[in-house]
């Protein structure tokens, strides 16, 4: 998962600067009188230990460890601020994140039709479950194995056939909430536009950016059609 690019223009840096965050690319060159180095030597013990750890941990485990530490309040407030400042200096915390946290606009998701605040949005915030499957009778081919089960479960929501004894473990969709209808793959069953759901909401079909970390980048999603191939 790539990080969004960061503009170093003055009007974007100003909100981050109040936290003492400076964008690395905008860091001034120190004078000879200043005993300041651009970076810690990769041969130092802290740098070497960090490199060793990062080379031996998966992105998934690192994400889970940081998320669990913050949400379980195992760090002191000043430690959280230090982490925040450090991540900002390497470009992982941007002004977009600060804007999202302060945004109190109540939005309506064009996909799952829940209301949400952008600060609560995320790559697992919008979940759509499968429709209940119906039994589908297979046509018997000439010379086919007669022991083959004559029925499969058919999921109309993703047009997928699955063995009766199997299930699709993943939901139909997992990703970010969006207010942009053009980003949603409507299917006429479990993912319907607001007009059909009679939500009373009108969504734009213009792909303007969501107020999200990734801007107008499509939501991260898991398609059940791909997942179901492993359960056949």
pLDDT, tens digit (0-9, with 9 covering 90-100), for 131-184: 998 888 887 665 556 566 688 889 999 988 888 878 788 999 999 999 999 999
Query: What's the mean pLDDT in 41-55?
Result: 86
Q: Return d(Cα 28, Cα 21) in angstroms, integer.
A: 13
Claim to verify: residue 74 and residue 136 sit in the same structural domain: no
**Residues 127 and 211 grouped into a single domain:** yes
* Domain-ending residue, one of 77, 93, 109: 93
Structural domain of 68: 10-24+40-93
Same domain for 83 and 188?
A: no
For residue 165, is it within any domain?
yes
Task: Please tell me the distance from the alpha carbon of residue 22 to that of residue 13, in angstroms, as a whole number.
Answer: 8
Q: What is the mean pLDDT of residues 217-229?
A: 37
Q: What is the pLDDT of residues 88-120, one digit of tens each?
A: 888 888 888 889 999 999 999 999 999 999 999
Question: From start to end of the chain, where are the E strands?
Answer: 107-108, 115-116, 126-128, 134-137, 151-155, 160-163, 173-175
Supply the pLDDT for residue 141.
61
What is the arithmetic mean of pLDDT over 121-132?
94
Looking at the chain, how many residues does it have? 232
Looking at the structure, do residues 229 and 157 belong to the same domain, yes or no?
A: yes
Strands 134-137 and 151-155 turn out to be antiparallel
**Residue 4 resides in a domain:** no
Q: Give the pLDDT band (50/70/90) at residue 20.
A: low
Tell whether 82 and 126 lie within a shared domain.
Answer: no
Residue 154 maps to a domain = yes
Do 148 and 228 fall into the same domain? yes
Rounded CA-CA distance 218/185 in Å is: 11
Two structure tokens written together for 139:
């046509």
Together in a domain, 70 and 135: no
Examine residue 51 and state whether it is found in any structural domain, yes or no: yes
Same domain, 141 and 74: no
Q: Does 113 map to a domain?
A: no
Query: What's the number of domains the chain is made of?
Result: 2
Report if residue 170 sits inside a domain.
Answer: yes
Radius of gyration of the chain (CA): 24
Is pLDDT above 80 for 218?
A: no
Beta bridge partners of 107: 116
Judged against a pLDDT cut of 70, whether residue 204 lies above it is answered with no
Q: Which of 93, 114, 134 is the last residue of a domain?
A: 93
**DSSP label of 38:** S
Q: Does 81 share its domain with 131?
A: no
Q: Examine residue 98 and state whether it is found in any structural domain, yes or no.
A: no
Q: Other CB atoms closer than 10 Å to residue 1's CB: what's the count? A: 7
Per-residue pLDDT at 96:
87
User: What are the C-alpha distances in Å from 183 to residues 122, 178, 204, 218?
Assistant: 15, 8, 10, 7
Domain closes at, from 49, 77, 93: 93
The angle that helices 10-17 and 95-102 make with each other, rounded to 10 degrees, is 60
Give me the residues paired with residue 153 across strands: 135, 162
Residue 55 lies in a domain: yes
How far apart are alpha carbons 123 and 213 in whole angstroms? 10
Q: What is the pLDDT of residue 123?
A: 93
Does one domain contain both 146 and 220?
Answer: yes
Q: How far apart are CA 228 and CA 160, in angstroms?
A: 7
pLDDT category at 226 given cuts 50, 70, 90 is very low
If we measure between CA atoms, which residue out of 123, 223, 139, 102 comes closest to residue 177? 123
Contact predicate 210/178, CB 8 Å: yes
| pLDDT top residue among 3 and 42 | 42
């Amino acid at each position: 998962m790539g990080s969004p690019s960061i503009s170093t223009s003055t009007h974007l840096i100003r909100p981050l600067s109040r936290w003492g965050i400076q964008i690395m690319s905008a860091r001034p060159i120190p004078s000879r009188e200043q005993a300041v180095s651009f970076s810690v030597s990769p041969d130092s013990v802290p740098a070497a230990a960090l490199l060793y750890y990062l080379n031996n941990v998966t992105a998934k485990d690192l994400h889970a460890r940081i998320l669990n530490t913050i949400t379980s309040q195992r760090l002191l407030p000043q430690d959280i601020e230090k982490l925040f400042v450090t991540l900002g200096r390497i470009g992982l915390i941007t002004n977009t994140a600060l804007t999202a946290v302060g945004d109190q606009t109540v939005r309506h998701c064009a996909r799952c039709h829940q209301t949400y605040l952008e600060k609560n949005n995320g790559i697992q915030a919008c979940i759509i479950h499968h429709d209940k499957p119906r039994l589908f009778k297979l046509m018997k081919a000439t010379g086919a194995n007669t022991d083959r089960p004559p029925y499969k479960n058919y999921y109309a929501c993703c047009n997928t056939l699955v063995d009766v004894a199997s299930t699709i473990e993943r939901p139909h969709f997992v990703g970010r909430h969006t207010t942009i209808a053009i980003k949603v793959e409507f299917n006429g069953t479990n993912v319907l536009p607001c007009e059909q759901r009679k939500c009373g909401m009108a969504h734009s079909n213009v792909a303007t950016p969501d107020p999200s970390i990734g801007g107008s980048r499509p939501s991260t999603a898991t398609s059940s059609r791909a997942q179901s191939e492993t359960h056949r």
